Amino acid sequence: MVNLIPADVRNRLKGVSIVTRRAVGSRGIGLHQSHSRGAGIEFAQYRAYEPGDELRQIDWKLYARSDKFFVREAERESPVAVWILIDASASMAQSDAARPDYSRLDAARGIAACVTELALRQGDRFGYMALGDEGLRLLPPASGPRQRNRMLIDLLAIQSARGFPAEKQLGPIWERIGARDLVLLLSDCFDEGAIALAEKLAAAGRETLVIEMLTVAERDFPFDGGHRFRDPETTEELLADGPALRAEFLSRFAAARTALHARLDIAGIRHATHCLDQPIDLPLRALFAARGMADSA
Q: For residue 28, tell me if it sits in a domain.
A: no
Q: Are residues 121 and 54 in the same domain?
A: no
Torsions phi, psi for 20 (to 5 deg): -100, 170
Q: For residue 8, tell me if it sits in a domain.
A: no
Q: For residue 296, tell me if it sits in a domain.
A: no
pLDDT value for 45 = 61
pLDDT value for 53 = 64
- pTM of the full predicted structure? 0.79
Q: Are residues 133 and 161 in the same domain?
A: yes
- C-alpha to C-alpha distance for 273 and 261, rounded to whole angstroms: 10
Nearest Cα to Cα of residue 35 among 90, 65, 1, 79: 79
Q: For residue 172, tell me if it sits in a domain.
A: yes
Q: How many distinct structural domains can be found in the chain? A: 2
Contact criterion met (CB below 8 Å) for 147 and 75: no
Of 76, 102, 136, at which residue does a domain stop? 76
pLDDT tens, N- to C-terminus, the chain (297 residues): 568 999 999 999 988 999 887 654 333 333 544 444 444 444 556 667 666 566 777 777 777 778 777 776 654 456 679 999 999 999 999 999 899 999 999 999 999 999 999 999 998 999 999 999 998 999 999 999 999 999 999 999 999 998 999 999 999 999 999 988 999 999 999 999 999 999 999 999 999 999 999 999 999 988 776 666 666 666 676 666 667 788 888 999 999 999 999 999 999 999 999 999 999 999 999 998 644 433 433
Q: For residue 93, tell me if it sits in a domain.
A: yes
Q: For residue 91, tell me if it sits in a domain.
A: yes
pLDDT value for 27 = 37
- C-alpha to C-alpha distance for 163 and 88, rounded to whole angstroms: 8
pLDDT value for 237 = 62
Task: Tell me the residue range of the domain where 59 lies.
Answer: 36-76
Give the CATH number for residue 104.
Answer: 3.40.50.410
Q: Are residues 154 and 210 in the same domain?
A: yes
pLDDT value for 164 = 95
Q: For residue 70, tell me if it sits in a domain.
A: yes
Other CB atoms within a 10 A radius of the CB of residue 76 amount to 16
Q: Are residues 71 and 85 in the same domain?
A: no
pLDDT value for 103 = 97
Of 76, 91, 125, at which residue does a domain stop? 76
60-64-69 Cα angle (round to 5): 55
Torsions phi, psi for 278 (to 5 deg): -110, 160
Other CB atoms within a 10 A radius of the CB of residue 66 amount to 10
Q: Are residues 254 and 134 in the same domain?
A: yes
Q: Are residues 188 and 282 in the same domain?
A: yes
Q: Are residues 88 and 148 in the same domain?
A: yes
- C-alpha to C-alpha distance for 168 and 58, rounded to whole angstroms: 51
Q: For residue 23, tell me if it sits in a domain.
A: no
Q: Are residues 142 and 196 in the same domain?
A: yes
Q: Are residues 86 and 152 in the same domain?
A: yes
Of 76, 103, 138, at which residue does a domain stop? 76
pLDDT value for 291 = 45
Q: Are residues 224 and 104 in the same domain?
A: yes
| CA distances in angstroms from 99 to 227, 234, 259, listed in the order given | 18, 23, 29
Q: Are residues 188 and 278 in the same domain?
A: yes
Q: Are residues 49 and 152 in the same domain?
A: no
